[in-house]
Amino acid sequence: MRWPHESRAGMSAIRFDIDQWQAWAPGCACHADWSRWALASVWPDAPDAQPDVSFLPAMQRRRLSRLARMVFAVAAPLVEDQPPMPLVYASRHGETTRNFALLSDLAEQQPLSPTQFSLSVHNAIIGLWSIFQGDSSEMTALAAEGDGLEHAFLEAALLLNEGAPAVLLVIAEETPPDAYRPWIDDVQIPYALALRLTAGDTWQLQLQSADEPAVTASAPHALELIRALLDGRSQLTHQWKTRRWNWQRTR
């Protein structure tokens, strides 16, 4: 598969500015929490923590899984006092907890809840977000591999090139049910990262081909991007299989 403007050396760099970001994981709800994590690389012992979505009506809160709550918690601060904007949402595994509950009901020959089923599909979260925001902007849900973050940035860059003043990008993963753990080993901790992107050239992202598949990364690359945003590093690289993504901060 060839990407737009891709040659044997790789595709042309996409360029953008990261105007603002917000992230959540158990024990990390603000930039100060993330700064402490970046220095120590140790997660606070709070596996059952829930993101604060008290800004939502109680009836709507009850419908949201923790994954959806994470998305709302990080996205809401970035759209406050902002005009409507497109959303790109990426998750490799999506609503695995809700899906597993539905499969368990099927195995036990229990009736399925239409509401639970409708909320289990991959684009349900962006549908709920659109309703909550009253925003009919273009919204995309991606189910990508281990480089879903980069695919989301590519999608967002295309929207900026088409004239969107800003794009909201959210990547989120929930820890899977125990039954899935032999096959899902890339989500050690639930997390969500939201970024408001605008046109610019502070950041450049380029895809190149690699001769050999990469060794599996020790942490999701979204978390490494948070670390880079905090420590000000100018370059980082993420390789998934034979796709090598080169990130560069120009200023």
Contact 97, 65 (CB under 8 A): yes
Beta bridge partners of 22: 194
Greater pLDDT, 215 or 132: 132
CA distances from 28 to 33, 120, 237 (A): 5, 26, 24
Given a cut of 90, whether residue 192 has pLDDT beyond it is: yes
Question: Where exactly are the structural domains of the chain?
Answer: 14-249
pTM, two decimal places: 0.91
pLDDT for position 4: 47
The fold adopted by the segment(s) 14-249 is Peroxisomal Thiolase; Chain A, domain 1 (3.40.47)
pLDDT for position 162: 95
Residue-wise pLDDT for 105-117, tens only, equals: 889 888 888 888 8
Greater pLDDT, 8 or 43: 43
